[in-house]
Chains A and B, each alone.
Chain A
């Protein structure tokens, strides 16, 4: 366990990584907003693109800023369980209301 802990601590990213992540987040946000003005070109592809982009942002923040990428698997499992149930129920409701 001691060994694993030190691995965890070593892997924690530093400010440089955080800033890099922030830059990526900013770029993704700009792309997202850009799609808003490109509705006519993207059409059906728009919604999948937006979902993928926001999922990417989500994963970046959770993985790096919340350290989940580097933290105990148990915590990952807990959060994943909550997300899974929430997303599953949301999808089920969208299906029930035919959206």
Chain B
């Protein structure tokens, strides 16, 4: 009956495949859009990295000029952070958070689609700068007053950067609001906060970080924009302005941003290690709590990016202390992952190899981070290649290795096909070797006093060998990443035969077919403990009580399924799902209909950014503000259409 109801629903919105993707509000499809888009950007960002390493492979190289090099390293950083790691995290949020909490969709499906389209268009705006020969060239950190003054950065380069990031910021905020509400408000009955998978927890924490960190970036970018467009003095020393204000605004955003990039991957690791060790996460409460503490502290450490600015010893001492404090919860997480593996029955799948290598590589990055917290040592290491090594161990050795693990882990659920393990293992070993070959020598270059962001170095500096090694490593790393793509493309040509639960999974997404049906769950599951699906599979030996811990406003009942056992009655039914399914032809599963308005709103927003960039150009200047006006009109009309479109926002209702 469920099927027939769905078919009816489907028929009403029968459209061509393209239109279906353009108007989809299904969180899984949006997740897949995020997935492929950010993987495409990974290729671009990786290519830029290879250009950087090619330029630096020998001293006095003239492969790229200084202007091209500055554009390349700026875009490499900006792309990898905003266009690759964040949206890859978002791909997994989108696809898996609703599945893991037993929901049929996110709280605001159309807002979710808007997030994606604004992300895509904002990214394209940023990338289109290459076509105009005006790629951003001020670094991903865009330090004022180099960037805020048209005297020091004429041309459209920085304008593209500011406008692109503003659009991406709106997309990110919308997405964070959505996932915050989804996780807090749409959990299946029995899924109390302390039963949520750690990945969901880290998504929640990340959403909070985004909500509180991004406004600071937005305000900073607004100020750069006003300085560049309207002659304001925010960062203008000639009028008494202080360019260091930008650094504060940027790093108040920027340090939480680091955790926005690394906490979701930590969540992925916390799902993958237990699955392949067939053991629950060791110290769940501590891992979750550590994540929350990290999030809280991350707003009090920003000036450790500014130790060399000369804030004075007292502020530096304060920020050094908070920075060292934040290392403690990080250490707790690492030990708990080791504790998870200990005593397990570890299956050496590719996903596990990546996840385990994350622990080791992230530890290196974490330790060098502690070195930077020591202010005098930071006076040496900051802006040297030592720091480049450090944050690549955190963001590649951390975030990306975990994301690779997550790809191998969740690909079957997303696409219904198992990735090739042989290719996967080859990918793993080449990545691990290539990664260390690329980035470990950068520590040595830091010791040898090589500063960051230099487009060339002279032969006499003694930096030749390690730059050569790093470049060779980078080519290896590039090749190994291609293997992932080969693997995915090869796998996608195979028939979709992945079982629902290929890894003996522990969380709810493995309880439904691979790939999941549009409505996710035939019947909203009832959760009887952590690792909800594991408990359903192997019985209640591990059940931590039949969900008595919920109380007050936290308590949920299940109006969709009044016959379903409430959280208190659920224990004892081995298959809650099949139990509920008999009861009703659920005519109330209705999925939100597709909509064009998210796409047009995102396009209108981006049009505003395009107009601002045009306004700064020599040739199209007079068209700029009219285009901005057009963009605003498009946003307003789309939002009106959005408001009056006849649907219920709640996808699961």
Determine if A85 and B552 form an interchain contact, defined as CB atoms under 8 angstroms apart. no
How far, in whole Å, are A74 and B248 apart by their CA atoms in the complex? Answer: 30
- Which residues of the other chain, B, contact A86 by a CB distance below 8 angstroms? 212
Determine if B311 and A96 form an interchain contact, defined as CB atoms under 8 angstroms apart. yes
- Which residues of the other chain, A, contact B248 by a CB distance below 8 angstroms? 93, 96
How far, in whole Å, are A73 and B248 apart by their CA atoms in the complex? Answer: 32
A82-B212, A96-B315 in contact; A88/B552 too (CB < 8 A)? no
Determine if B555 and A88 form an interchain contact, defined as CB atoms under 8 angstroms apart. no
- B551 to chain A: closest residue by CB: A1
Interface of A, secondary structure class, is helix
Determine if B211 and A82 form an interchain contact, defined as CB atoms under 8 angstroms apart. yes
Partner of B212, one of A1, A72, A85: A85
- Which residues of the other chain, B, contact A88 by a CB distance below 8 angstroms? 299-300
- Which residues of the other chain, B, contact A92 by a CB distance below 8 angstroms? 300
- B552 to chain A: closest residue by CB: A4
Is B479 in the interface zone, CB < 8 Å from A? no
- Which residues of the other chain, B, contact A4 by a CB distance below 8 angstroms? 552-553
Within 8 A of A (CB), among B295-329: 299-300, 303, 311, 315
Q: How far is the CB of A98 from chain B (nearest CB, A)?
A: 10
Q: How far is the CB of A4 from chain B (nearest CB, A)?
A: 6
- Produce 1/0 per residue, A26-40, CB < 8 A to B: 000000000000000
How far, in whole Å, are A91 and B391 apart by their CA atoms in the complex? Answer: 29
- Which residues of the other chain, A, contact B552 by a CB distance below 8 angstroms? 1, 4
- Which residues of the other chain, B, contact A82 by a CB distance below 8 angstroms? 211-212
Within 8 A of B (CB), among A66-99: 72-74, 81-82, 85-86, 88-89, 92-93, 95-96
How far, in whole Å, are A82 and B328 apart by their CA atoms in the complex? Answer: 24
Partner of A74, one of B216, B252, B300, B553: B553
Interface residues, chain A, CB within 8 Å of chain B?
1, 4, 72-74, 81-82, 85-86, 88-89, 92-93, 95-96
Interface residues, chain B, CB within 8 Å of chain A?
184, 208, 211-212, 216, 248, 252, 299-300, 303, 311, 315, 552-553, 555, 557
Query: Could you pull out 5 A-B pairs where Cβ atoms are within 8 angstroms?
Result: A73-B553, A81-B208, A82-B211, A85-B212, A96-B311
Known contacts A74-B553, A95-B315, A96-B315, then 19 further A-B pairs from the complex at CB < 8 Å, ordered by chain A residue: A1-B552, A1-B553, A1-B557, A4-B552, A4-B553, A72-B553, A73-B553, A74-B184, A81-B212, A82-B211, A82-B212, A85-B212, A85-B299, A86-B212, A89-B216, A93-B248, A96-B248, A96-B303, A96-B311
